[in-house]
Amino acid sequence: MPTSAYTICSLTGAVDVYNNSLSCYNVIEIVQFTRIPEPQPGQPQVVARVPTCRIVAVWLRDDADDPNQLYEARLVSRRAGGEVSELGRFPQFRFPTQFHRLVVPEIPIVPARPGVAFVECQIRRAEEGAEWINGNRFPIVFEEVPFQEPRPTDLQAPLPTT
């Protein structure tokens, strides 16, 4: 069976078109988040941007594996206490070369609560009753920080006076 080579979550990345090498930039280790309170009557709603990340999972085909074998893969998030959430699935694939990359170019990072979540890619043969093979786990620490009211900044341009 194939072996998980690595799983990485990063803010961005690139693939070199000449040699097919992969680069991951700004690897994510800690995500800080704030719970935004409901606005008071007459106050504007605070809008927050939901950060996204790129997930790359690479698998290594064993020499004994048939390169024509069809596989399916999924991403899951694991939390303490055994909580598992499916983040998404990939189209079915084969291993024509020794390595196979599974890339999600952009997926939202939605922290539910503080703590550590492990992002994991799982694969299995695309056949009835096949068991999922667990891949490497990539940890992301979620830290909650206190909400601070937004303030006008000194960088705002003054209104023209004519």
pLDDT tens-digit series, residues 4-53: 999 999 999 999 999 989 999 999 999 988 888 787 888 877 777 788 99
Three-state DSSP at 103 gives: strand
| Cβ(71)–Cβ(94) below 8 Å | yes
What is the average pLDDT across 54-69? 95
Of residues 129 and 121, more confidently modeled: 121
pLDDT at residue 159 greater than cutoff 70: no
Q: Are strands 99-108 and 3-15 parallel, antiparallel or unpaired?
A: unpaired
What is the average pLDDT across 59-65? 94
C-alpha dihedral over 140, 146, 152, 156, to 10 degrees?
-20
The token pair that represents 155 in the structure block: 């960088």
What is the average pLDDT across 108-126? 91
Looking at domain 3-34+49-144, its CATH architecture is Sandwich (2.60)
What lies within 8 Å, CB to CB, of 16 at 6+ separation is 22, 23
- The size of the chain, in residues, is 162
> Which stretch of 46-55, 102-111, 116-125, 145-154 has the lowest confidence by average pLDDT?
145-154
Check residue 154 and give its pLDDT.
47
CA distance 79 to 145: 20
Query: Model pTM greater than 0.75?
Result: yes
What lies within 8 Å, CB to CB, of 102 at 6+ separation is 56, 57, 58, 59, 73, 90, 93, 121
Residue range 67-104, pLDDT digits in tens: 999 999 999 999 988 889 999 999 999 999 999 999 99
What lies within 8 Å, CB to CB, of 123 at 6+ separation is 2, 59, 71, 72, 73, 132, 133, 135
- Nearest-CA neighbor of 120 among 70, 80, 84, 81? 84
